[in-house]
Structure 1
Amino acid sequence: MPTRIAARPPHRGVRRAGRPIAVAGAVVGVVYGYDTGSVSGALVFLSREFHLGPAAAGLVNSVLVLGSVLGALVAGRLADAVGRRTTMIAVAAAYAVFAALSALSPDVVVLDAVRFLLGVAIGVSIVVAPLFIAESSPARVRGAAVATYQVACVAGITLTYFLDWALAGGGHWRVMLGLSALPAALVVPPLLRLPDSPRWYVLTGRLDVAAEVLAATDPDVDPVAGTAAIARELAAERTGRGGALERLVRRPYRRATVFVLGMGFFCQITGVNAVTYYSPEIFRTLGFTGTGQTFFLPSLVELVSLAATVAALFVVDRAGRRDVLLTGIGTMTATLVALALLYGAGAGSWAGFAAVTIFTAAFNFGFGSLIWVYASEAFPARLRSLGASVMLTADLTANLLVAQFFPALLATAGPARTFAGFAALALAAFVFIAWLAPETKGRPLEEIRAYWRNGGRWDDPAAAPPARP
């Protein structure tokens, strides 16, 4: 790999590229959140039109997640092969096409097929969008920049619920599913004008372009020295034995792999998407009746969650990743216990609503915001995209289990036992995260590699860059 970085005219779209990249990633996040949550309201009406039983209705949800698992599995290799930006363009175009086709589906078979393909696009996007943002952000604000993606996702889900509530009177499920096609199509032209991340240009040997992009995206570092540091990191990774997947399960990165697999799985198995996918049914079990309440109340839940996600944005680079994450998981555990007790005692519906609201907000403050940050930070450059794929594949596998089996659990075990089970899983998640999660605030991506190589210890803990206001 060349060590001299030549000066050359600026690459198209390079000037002041950091903020537009974050904005473009956020728009993709809004579309992802909308497409994830839109089925919650649409399912009530399309089930009637297509005469769906519980299993078939569950499949409409789980087939999207199944496609997402496949998308996450291939996303890392795709992002390395064609670039982060090109992959994002393909994702945005796929969102637009498959959202429109969902709205036009003549029967449930076509709808399931289209939602599977939409799920593939979702799986790719949730790996690549945070990766693109993280690799194009200064270390001092990287946590907030990546957490912005979660803000966008929650904003998309919140928008879904308000639109579902507005459209519920006419049963317009096709409009609910198809509305996201427009913003997805509109984000493609801006993406075409952006550069790729500096690390991808170094990965492909284009050090001169990498330096230009680094100068535009990270004013805190010298672009030549920063590019050389990335190049050294990649060169050191190239000297390791075995392929990328083999190296994930061997020392020194075995510990990192266990961490990301566990975090990804616990993020979803603790039940947040039971609320996202089946909130009207959950509110019915709490005693709420009528379309107005069962559709409007989830909107309020997501509005509070959006506020919690914005709060995480402001503290993740100050308080640190671990404190934010553990605070969120601890609050989730407490509210799940409260919800199980309320169901067991047959307590009032508004207390249950409060518990669901705080649980969802706590998820988005902790797990929801930090999974994207850790997915983009946990591995060195050459393993980063594959590592993010591994984490989010575990996340989506747990999501698939919740999407498919939550309705049956609710019907057979009852809500009290179901939410008690989620509480036990949340407690296990707290212990796991307290054991393995590193504090990475303020550290360059290349420096984090040393933590795992040292068996989960920093070379010099006192040398951690201070969080900046």
Structure 2
Amino acid sequence: MMAHASRATGGRASPESVLVAFAGGAIGIIFGYDLGSVAGALPSIVREFGLSELEAGWVNGVIVSSQIPGALAAGKLNDTLGRRWTMIAIAASYAVVALLQAISPNVVMLDVVRLVLGATIGVSMVSAPLFVAEISPARLRGRFVALYQVATVGGIFITYLVNYFLSFGDHWRIMLGLAAIPAIIVLGCLMVLPESPRWLILNGHLDEAKRVLTRTDPEADLELQIAEIEREACIETGRGLADMVRPAYRRATVFVVCLGVFAQITGINAITYYSPIIFTELGFRAPGQSLALPSIVQFCAVLATIASLSIVDRLGRRITLLSGLAFMAAGALVLSLVFGLGGGSRGAGSWTGFAAVLVFTCAFNGGFGSVVWVYSSEAFPVRLRAIGASVMLVSALLANLVVADAFLWAASALGMAFVFAFFTAMALVALTFIALRAPETSGRSLEEIRTSWQVNG
């Protein structure tokens, strides 16, 4: 077998690669904060602008409608502008959008601004993990990319805290505008960070790519790493969707599309979006419980996601994914049984249900939620990596729309027990799929991973 550019398992990360991971994580914090901040701001927005239920729903839903176009555009933007300049544009957009939300004089402007925010979120969900993956040393790539999920979950948790402390009064403009602060900070970091060496080589900037690799991964065999990237860049010529279904990439394409669907169809956002309703159905009806309990769950999810950083590179992607899915299936099954047996009426049944929600959420964020970004950024050659990440995200967003739109209807018409039995089944299907199809990519260079997809396809 040929030697590979980066197989080291020890050593320190360079300052530049740590800063890249920090920048990707900061984008995740902004994304998580923006997703959750409107929940606390919406009651005040409704009062100030005198909105109907339909108008209030659109303030929240407009973001979802524009995430898919943003995700579709992300691949082209990353290939045309470069990974770094796309990230700079994202950070600048987040800052401007946050400030415009805070000064919106009417709901029309607010909706337009939030439409742009949704597109920015769609682009950032592809770009941040991609940027981090292409610059990080192979031995650290898993935990650096997974840091994005830690930051996203952390951003949602921060939102809960901010919403609580600013809920005493109509401070919705401050809630929405605060997202500008981390956006400006990460914009400053990005201005001093390098471009992805793989994008540089792809676009003929070899000398600059060598300088970047020397700074970001000084322990790697520079000449061998350059040779691998150049060989891949010379062999592959396609950059479009049609190229992703060619025999050489079909296995990777099917895998990341299914990964995106399973990430949502297993039910995580049903709990995220509707946890107050779920906890109320479990019997938690005292004032404040429907807000306090999701905060506890989200805090524990942050801890679980942080814990995943220590295992995703050491134990590997497969074990992290499979163990997370197993616990998700167990949590969903317990919830189905609690609702099916009528245990959601206070007492032991209620707290058993709460524990099941906690296990499910922590298992997702510490397993599936962390690794899905790692796999999507590793599965394709450099020319298709950005568009491949876009395809994964679009599949996840479409599945998310189905779950978000159907959950309340299914819970009402078929019952909570049926809904969580369905999520249990989906988690088991995902577990089987991952066990059969997911390769182990920990510690391997991106070019070596790409070859393994073809050899094993």
1:368/1:52 CA distance change after superposition, 3 Å: farther
8 A contact 2:325–2:430 mirrored in 1: yes
Instruction: State yes or no: 1:287 paired with 2:283.
Output: yes
8 A contact 2:379–2:449 mirrored in 1: yes
Q: Distance in 2 between matches of 1:344 and 1:454?
A: 47
- Residue type of the alignment partner of 1:400: L
Aligned to 2:381: 380
Q: Distance in 2 between matches of 1:66 and 1:102?
A: 18
Instruction: State yes or no: 1:250 paired with 2:213.
Output: no
8 A contact 1:157–1:302 mirrored in 2: yes
- Residue type of the alignment partner of 1:324: T
Q: TM-score, normalising length from structure 1?
A: 0.88
Shift of 1:339: 0.8
What aligned pairs does 1:177-256 form with structure 2 within 5 A after superposition? 177-238=176-237, 244-256=240-252
Instruction: State yes or no: 1:120 paired with 2:119.
Output: yes
Q: Distance in 1 between matches of 2:359 and 2:455?
A: 38
Aligned to 1:449: 450
8 A contact 2:378–2:450 mirrored in 1: no
Moved more, 397-406 or 322-331: 397-406
Q: Distance in 2 between matches of 1:403 and 1:214?
A: 42
1:125-166 deviations in Å (ceiling 9; x for gaps): 111111111111111111011111111111111111122222
8 A contact 1:17–1:194 mirrored in 2: yes
1:208-261 deviations in Å (ceiling 9; x for gaps): 0000000111122132332222111110113xxx65321211202111100000
1:281/1:43 CA distance change after superposition, 3 Å: farther
Aligned to 1:460: none
Aligned to 2:420: 419
Instruction: State yes or no: 1:42 paired with 2:41.
Output: yes
What aligned pairs does 1:124-163 form with structure 2 within 5 A after superposition? 124-163=123-162
SS of equivalent residue, structure 1 residue 225: helix
1:207/1:39 CA distance change after superposition, 3 Å: same
8 A contact 1:65–1:399 mirrored in 2: no
8 A contact 1:215–1:222 mirrored in 2: no
Instruction: State yes or no: 1:403 paired with 2:404.
Output: yes
- Residue type of the alignment partner of 1:204: N
SS of equivalent residue, structure 1 residue 17: helix
Aligned residues: 438
Q: Distance in 2 between matches of 1:213 and 1:243?
A: 24
1:399/1:341 CA distance change after superposition, 3 Å: same
Shift of 1:317: 0.7
Aligned to 1:467: none
- Residue type of the alignment partner of 2:337: L
- Residue type of the alignment partner of 1:111: L
Aligned to 2:431: 430
Instruction: State yes or no: 1:324 paired with 2:325.
Output: no
Q: Distance in 2 between matches of 1:414 and 1:47?
A: 31
1:286/1:62 CA distance change after superposition, 3 Å: same
Aligned to 1:265: 261
Shift of 1:320: 0.7
- Residue type of the alignment partner of 1:130: P
8 A contact 1:61–1:403 mirrored in 2: no
Q: Distance in 2 between matches of 1:254 and 1:374?
A: 15
Of 295, 298, 316, which residue of structure 1 is paired with 2:294? 298
Shift of 1:291: 5.1
Q: Distance in 2 between matches of 1:321 and 1:390?
A: 20
1:375/1:306 CA distance change after superposition, 3 Å: same
SS of equivalent residue, structure 1 residue 168: coil
SS of equivalent residue, structure 1 residue 96: helix
- Residue type of the alignment partner of 2:114: R
Aligned to 2:308: 312
Q: Distance in 2 between matches of 1:396 and 1:317?
A: 27
Q: Distance in 1 between matches of 2:83 and 2:16?
A: 14
Moved more, 71-80 or 350-359: 350-359
1:103/1:405 CA distance change after superposition, 3 Å: farther
SS of equivalent residue, structure 2 residue 247: coil
- Residue type of the alignment partner of 2:426: L
- Residue type of the alignment partner of 2:313: D
RMSD of the TM alignment (CA)?
2.0
Aligned to 1:276: 272
Q: Distance in 2 between matches of 1:104 and 1:282?
A: 34
8 A contact 1:212–1:223 mirrored in 2: no
1:110/1:350 CA distance change after superposition, 3 Å: farther
8 A contact 1:266–1:425 mirrored in 2: yes
8 A contact 1:317–1:441 mirrored in 2: yes
8 A contact 2:335–2:356 mirrored in 1: yes
Q: Distance in 2 between matches of 1:309 and 1:251?
A: 35
1:52-99 deviations in Å (ceiling 9; x for gaps): 43x655544432122111111111110111111111111111112222
Q: Distance in 2 between matches of 1:427 and 1:169?
A: 44
Aligned to 2:365: 364
Q: Distance in 2 between matches of 1:97 and 1:411?
A: 40
Instruction: State yes or no: 1:86 paired with 2:85.
Output: yes
- Residue type of the alignment partner of 1:354: A
- Residue type of the alignment partner of 1:68: Q
Shift of 1:372: 0.9
Q: Distance in 2 between matches of 1:410 and 1:17?
A: 48
Aligned to 1:459: none
Q: Distance in 1 between matches of 2:382 and 2:409?
A: 42
1:382/1:227 CA distance change after superposition, 3 Å: same
Q: TM-score, normalising length from structure 2?
A: 0.90
1:362/1:212 CA distance change after superposition, 3 Å: same
- Residue type of the alignment partner of 1:175: I
- Residue type of the alignment partner of 1:276: T
Q: Distance in 2 between matches of 1:354 and 1:174?
A: 35
